[in-house]
Amino acid sequence: MPKFLITTATGRQGTSTVRLLLAKGAEVNALVRDPSSAASLALQSMGATLFKGGFDDAETILAAARAAGTVASVVVSTASYTELHEDWSVVKADLPFLSQFFISKSGAERAYFPEYMSSRVLTVSFTRDFRLDQIDAADVGQVAAAALLDPARFSGAEFTLGHEGLTLDEIAAHLSRTIGKEVTAKYRTAEETAEARKTTPMVEMQLWAPTLPRVEDAKLAEYGFRWTTFEEFLEREKSAIRKTVGIDIEA
């Protein structure tokens, strides 16, 4: 079986990728910042070989790569939709923050809710009918492992990961059921959005998102992946989600 080097291996996507590769019999070298951390030790217990280092430690990365064998491919991850504009400065007048954000991301390819914590309100500038596609970080690892293990099948394939498009009202309803407290969605008016953009640049993402093409569910279905539903994700992460809104510490 092949051997792979997985960097940022203790993250949700990295851990999922490592676990699935090992389950298929592959060998994995995992680059971790702290080999003694619980996340690193969990990888080691699965069978991964740990290498201590970060992206500012070139020698460790080289050693981990050499130990994995000959480099057949390098997978670079930056951001979705960087390919929509060859030069992202063309949208600078309308979307100055996004222009700067994607200029940096496309350059790498070439070489969110302020009132949620306090009042459980998802304040957004999305339209009420906008559907936000969901993806579990662990499912990213599912795709990554499959592509690494079967490169011929995935050669040339390019798709955006996501499924189960939900409106913010639907998301709020799911959250309400999970935490046992009411969560609501509040939609900013045009005037409120204009004001929010002065201090919260990521509002631009909510204005821009409805203009993007929807995820091609049929294309993803061809590969036979089984996605985690939003409800399943919330149930799995229920304890952590309740803590984010202080429920577990309420009297």
Instruction: Give tens-digit pLDDT for 187-196.
Output: 999 999 999 8
pLDDT given at position 112: 55
**What pLDDT sits at residue 116?**
64
Alpha carbon dihedral 196, 197, 202, 207, in 10-degree steps, equals 100
Q: Tell me the pLDDT tens digit for each residue of 136-189.
A: 988 999 999 999 999 899 888 877 788 888 999 999 999 999 989 899 999 999
For the stretch 82-135, pLDDT in tens is: 555 556 566 666 767 666 666 665 554 443 566 666 678 888 999 999 999 999
Chain mean pLDDT for the chain: 82
If 0-12 CB within 10 Å is exposed, 13-18 middle and 19+ buried, where does residue 75 land?
A: exposed
Backbone angles phi, psi at 123, to 5 degrees: -90, 120
What whole-number distance in Å separates Cα of residue 162 and Cα of residue 139?
Answer: 10
Which residues touch 219 (CB under 8 Å, ≥6 apart)? 159
Site of tokens 């399943």: 232
- Residue-wise pLDDT for 224-250, tens only, equals 888 999 999 999 999 888 887 777 644
CA nearest to 16, candidates 225, 231, 240: 225
Structural domains for the chain: 3-68 (3.40.50.720), 112-249 (3.40.50.720)
Q: Quick: pLDDT tens for 32-63.
A: 989 999 999 999 999 999 998 887 778 888 88
Read off the pLDDT of residues 130-151 as tens digits, 9 standing for 90 and up: 999 999 988 999 999 999 999 8
Cα-based distances in Å from 250 to 116, 145, 245, 246 = 16, 41, 10, 6
251 band by pLDDT with thresholds 50, 70 and 90: very low
For the entire predicted model, the pTM comes to 0.71
Q: Please give the order of strands across the beta sheet that includes 3-6.
A: 3-6, 27-32, 49-52
